[in-house]
Amino acid sequence: MSSYFRNQLRGCDVVLATLQAFSQDICRECIGLSGARTKVIKGLKKLRMDLEEASIPEDDKKEVTVHIESCEKIAQAIEVMEECECQKTANSCKIGPGCLPLGALDLMNEITAPAIKAEEKEVIKVAKLVCEKCGAEESVPVVH
Amino acid sequence: MLKIQPTSTYPPEKGCYLRGNDYSPVAVVVLMNAPYGAMPPEVQTIPKEIENLVKVAIETGAALSGTLQTENIGIEKIVCNIVANPNIRYLVVCGNEVEGHNTGTAIKALIQNGIDARRTIIGSQAKTPYLFNIPLEAISRFREQLTLIDLIGQIDPEVIMKGVWSCYQETPTPFKEFMLYDPGAYSDYAISSSLTLKVKQPEEVEDWEIDEILKGIEEPQEPPAEKLKKIGDEHMKEKRATLTITKRLLKVTEELSQIARLCIEEIEGLEMAPEDEVKKEALVPAPEKVIPAIKPAALVKEEPETEEELYFANQLKGFNGVLAAFQALDGDICHDGCSLPAAVIKAQKRLKRLKEDIGNSSVSEETKQRLEGRANEFIERLESLPQDKSQPCQKTVGNCTIGAGCFASGALKLLDLITQSAQP
């Protein structure tokens, strides 16, 4: 499995678990949680689109797809009221200016690598295995 | 001069507007640069100067006069309401530009340039100027039917009054760079349309999603004969609507009774003898996994009575999320690393201190017990998580490839979002 997709899904697992916990609280009626949930769902959709275009082995693709589907199910199951409003303006949330669901979503920002998409990473990997001096291609790095 | 009766549903969309003379040729849009939409209904107030402009326009003789804030749903509502009344031939847009939305430039660009194939207003400076919820026919009619009187930035009621008054004069009357008069109704039938709301939150739409959204809202090409039939059938609509509502009610009743049956079965299942449960469990395949289950809890709104109690309640609220994140990480490679145990230990220390603070606080005994009970529950959950800091860092061993960040310590930082109330 490409590290790009693996990292993104690891992040999703944590964010979803956290959002699920917040959905047991007043955040269930909050636009903050609703927005965070929507963003995760969209992120997963985008990840699926990127995966379709990625040049990674089919088996890996299947594995990632299963993980994406599982995350999507969890995201859909997060309880959010249909009509929701910011709980700060409703005077129910008094934690200060911060927002816990959006903070949970920010956990995705912990992922900074790989900075480039999976398929580009693969190209660089191959390029690194071509000897600069003699041009020989090796399956593992070799000093010529 | 030809005047036409608007559609029976006119104005089809609800909103923040006043209705005046249906035969007037002018509608007024006052841009609302105020945080109205973000406020709860009980405190929603329109700034006085904006409310005054809306009233002045109606009193001077406008057909409709209201406020506009968003560059998507807001504009869509205006389009629906205006094409339902062919008598409206001018649209006066006034008031200060809506910061962040740039709605004034969006409506101006819509009339001048229209929309592109992706239902985006051409040349708009707004962030999400998407019109996904109204028929293309209505947009095109809106542009043909209207002349824009651009008074963006103008908040002087006298100027608005003069503009509105000029629009319904029988002879051409100069107003700014325009020569205004009432040209009579638009030479085609009124269009009755309302928002489909297929895209309820266009502000959340991202550029890469638009093509897919468009697939879902493609309009069927109606042949002219079909269109005529539709107009002819309009008078039958009311009876049909009653029939449709009755059928839907019947369906809802059936679905509710099914839900009730399922609830009864579930409750009866829970009350089954333990041996029966074991047999039943054996028949159920193992769940797929992933995130550790969190105890389902009914949403109970607790209203802390003092600042001290609020502090404790807020902290526990935060810990609930942190713990859920830790439990998810425990199912991942973090289980064998050193960062999760370090974060768990830190959380334990903070939680124990919080529990002590609760014990020493002046909150009522009953509240104390409730808060301590929650803290104890969290401490128990933390105890079941890894605490061996001597394990290797998963970045060092090459398993964690997310970069310099760390999910475990990031999760702990969720507590920093809680800035109120101050620690007692």
- The three-state DSSP-derived secondary structure of chain A is CCHHHHHHHHHHHHHHHHHHHHCCCHHHHCHHHHHHHHHHHHHHHHHHHHHHHCCCCHHHHHHHHHHHHHHHHHHHHCCCCCCCCCCCCCCCCCCCCCCHHHHHHHHHHHCCCCCCCHHHHHHHHHHHCECCCCCCECCCCCCC
Query: Is the minimum CB–CB distance between B332 and chain A shorter than 8 Å?
Result: yes
Kindly state the helix (H) or strand (E) to which residue B311 belongs, with its residue range: helix B307-330
Q: B166, B192, B219: which is the final residue of a domain? A: B219
Per the prediction, chain A carries an average pLDDT of 82
Q: Is residue B373 part of a domain?
A: yes
Give the nearest partner residue to A110 out of B296, B331, B410, using CB atoms: B410
Distance, CA of B29 to chain centre? 22
Q: Is residue B329 part of a domain?
A: yes
Query: Is the minimum CB–CB distance between B206 and chain A shorter than 8 Å?
Result: yes
* Angle, alpha carbons B63-B69-B74 (nearest 5°): 65
Residues from chain B that touch A97, judged by Cβ atoms under 8 A, are: 419
pLDDT band at A131 (very low <50, low <70, confident <90, very high): low
**DSSP class of residue B170?**
S
Q: Is residue B324 part of a domain?
A: yes
- CB A89 to CB B407 under 8 A? no
Residues from chain B that touch A17, judged by Cβ atoms under 8 A, are: 291-292, 294, 324-325, 327-328
What pLDDT was estimated at residue B227? 60
- This complex has an ipTM of 0.80
The reply to whether B47 and B192 lie within a common domain is: yes
- CB A90 to CB B40 under 8 A? yes
Q: B200, B219, B238: which is the final residue of a domain? A: B219
* Angle, alpha carbons B380-B384-B389 (nearest 5°): 120
Counted residue by residue, chain A has a size of: 144
Q: Which of A34, A95, A112 to mutate to test the interface with B (most CBs of B within 10 A)?
A: A95
Q: Is residue B292 part of a domain?
A: no
- CB A18 to CB B318 under 8 A? no
What pLDDT was estimated at residue B222? 54
The reply to whether B84 and B201 lie within a common domain is: yes
Q: Is residue A53 exposed (0-12), middle (13-18) or buried (19+ Cβ within 10 Å)?
A: exposed
What pLDDT was estimated at residue B284? 43
The reply to whether B194 and B64 lie within a common domain is: yes
Q: Is residue B264 part of a domain?
A: no
- CB B328 to CB A17 under 8 A? yes
The reply to whether B214 and B311 lie within a common domain is: no
Q: Is residue B390 part of a domain?
A: yes
- CB A71 to CB B290 under 8 A? yes
Query: Is the minimum CB–CB distance between B269 and chain A shorter than 8 Å?
Result: no
Q: Tens of pLDDT along B26-73? A: 999 999 887 655 444 544 567 888 999 999 999 999 999 999 989 999
Query: Is the minimum CB–CB distance between B399 and chain A shorter than 8 Å?
Result: no
Q: Tens of pLDDT along B302-331? A: 677 788 888 999 999 999 999 999 999 999
Q: B177, B203, B219: which is the final residue of a domain? A: B219
The reply to whether B199 and B92 lie within a common domain is: yes
What pLDDT was estimated at residue B34? 74
Residues from chain B that touch A1, judged by Cβ atoms under 8 A, are: none
What pLDDT was estimated at residue A133? 56
**How far apart, in whole angstroms, are the C-alpha atoms of residue B268 and residue B298?**
20
- CB B291 to CB A89 under 8 A? no
Q: Is residue B138 part of a domain?
A: yes
Give B57 to chain A, closest Cα distance, Å: 32
Give A134 to chain B, closest Cα distance, Å: 30
What pLDDT was estimated at residue A138? 53
What pLDDT was estimated at residue B281? 43
Regions in chain B scoring below 50 on pLDDT: 38-40, 42-43, 273, 275-291, 293-297
Q: Tens of pLDDT along B333-378? A: 999 999 999 999 999 999 999 999 999 999 889 899 999 999 999 9
Q: Is residue B12 part of a domain?
A: no
Q: Which of B306, B317, B332 to mutate to test the interface with A (most CBs of A within 10 A)?
A: B317
- CB B401 to CB A114 under 8 A? yes
What pLDDT was estimated at residue B277? 46
Give B265 to chain A, closest Cα distance, Å: 22
What pLDDT was estimated at residue B418? 92
The reply to whether B41 and B168 lie within a common domain is: yes
The reply to whether B215 and B312 lie within a common domain is: no
- CB A22 to CB B297 under 8 A? no
What domain count does chain B have?
Answer: 2
Q: Which residue segment(s) compose the domain that B342 sits in? A: 307-417
